[in-house]
Amino acid sequence: MRQTDLHIKELQAEFGNKDYFQVEDLFAFYQSFEPTIAKSTVNWRIYTLVKTGVIKRIGRGKYNCGNGNAFIPHITPKALKINTFMKTNFPYLNYIIWHISEINSVSQHLINKDTYYVEVERDAVDAVFEQLREKFKYVLRGKTNEDVYFGESVIVVRSLVTGSPTQLASNVPTTTIEKLLVDLFSDKEFEFLQGYELTHIFNNAFSKYTINIDKLLRYASRKAKREQISEFIKTIK
């Protein structure tokens, strides 16, 4: 495909300042140059534009301009050790592992806690807690933001909401930016991040990472927070 067929400069001028645009907008855009263009041709151009970073997908059928930047959590040696333990002892269980420091990439104030979250299916929380406690020194159950073991590395076992958006990093199941943002907005243990700090986190996340709004809102619905978080996003974008 020739670069001239993509009309990249014109596309950036047309859509560059918009929060998002849709497939229908791109079809109309290319129709203005080629009135008889086929939808299959436009779909192929969209694929090329995404692959080359001219536009990025932010939801189902929604795009904006610019190269995407994926949120990939850092997997520490301890996270790998926890993952090995989980795979060995609970091979058929859905779970994720993430560290509180992931928030530091978007927060204003650095969080110095050394807290790992192991989120598992609700019915397995007690079993996982008991077995992790036999292997690791400091393990807590349920939602907590208390510094019970101040200065120590702590594992907190939480419930994993059905349908949570997850990803693999270094072969470890972990959180996505969409899940992280909804959890910070919704969960009691992250109340210390409310107010201006939460606004700062969301602003930074939306400017730094590619965020799938549809995925975020679907997960927010699972936590009965869709309307509240949708309104909040409108105030910070």
Q: Which of 65, 90, 115 is the last residue of a domain?
A: 65
State percent of the chain over pLDDT 90: 58
Domain shared by 92 and 206, yes or no: yes
Is position 103 within any domain?
yes
Is residue 127 one of the residues assigned to a domain?
Answer: yes
Query: Quick count: other Cβ atoms within 10 Å of Cβ 188?
Result: 8
Is the pLDDT confidence value at 3 over 70?
no
- Domain co-membership, 82 together with 31: no
223 within a domain of the structure (yes/no): yes
Q: Which residue, among 115, 132, 134, 136, has the nearest Cα to 124 in the 3D structure?
A: 132
In this structure, the answer to whether residues 179 and 227 fall within a common structural domain is: yes
Asked whether residue 113 falls in the same domain as residue 175, the answer is: yes
pLDDT at residue number 143 = 62
Residues 99 and 30 in one domain: no
- Domain region containing 34: 3-65
217 and 180 belong to one structural domain: yes
For the chain, what is the mean pLDDT? 88
CA 126 to chain centre: 27
The CATH number given to whatever domain includes residue 19 is: 1.10.10
DSSP state of 190: G
Q: How confident is the model at residue 80 (pLDDT cuts 50, 70, 90)?
A: very high
Asked if residue 127 and residue 92 are part of one domain, the reply reads: yes
Residues 100 and 135 in one domain: yes
For the cut 60, the answer to whether the pLDDT of residue 10 exceeds it is: yes
- 9 and 46 both lie in a single domain: yes
Domain termination residue (choose one: 65, 94, 110): 65
Structure tokens at 168: 């693999």
Asked whether residue 71 is domain-assigned, the answer is no
Domain count, the chain: 2
The conformation of residue 160, written as its DSSP 8-state character, comes to P
Say yes or no: 111 and 49 in one domain: no
Give the domain-ending residue among 23, 40, 65.
Answer: 65
Higher pLDDT, 218 or 8: 218
Mean pLDDT, residues 104-121 taken together: 88
Residue 50 and residue 14 in one domain: yes
CA 216/CA 178 separation, integer angstroms? 5
Q: Determine the 3-state secondary structure of 142 from DSSP.
A: coil
- Same domain for 155 and 133? yes
Provide the 3-class DSSP secondary structure of residue 156: strand
Beta bridge partners of 21: 63
Which segments of the chain does DSSP mark as H helices, in order?
Answer: 3-6, 8-15, 23-31, 39-51, 77-89, 125-135, 177-186, 196-208, 213-222, 226-236
Q: Is the pTM of this model over 0.85?
A: no
Q: What is the pLDDT, as a whole number, of residue 109?
A: 79
**At residue 64, does pLDDT exceed 60?**
yes
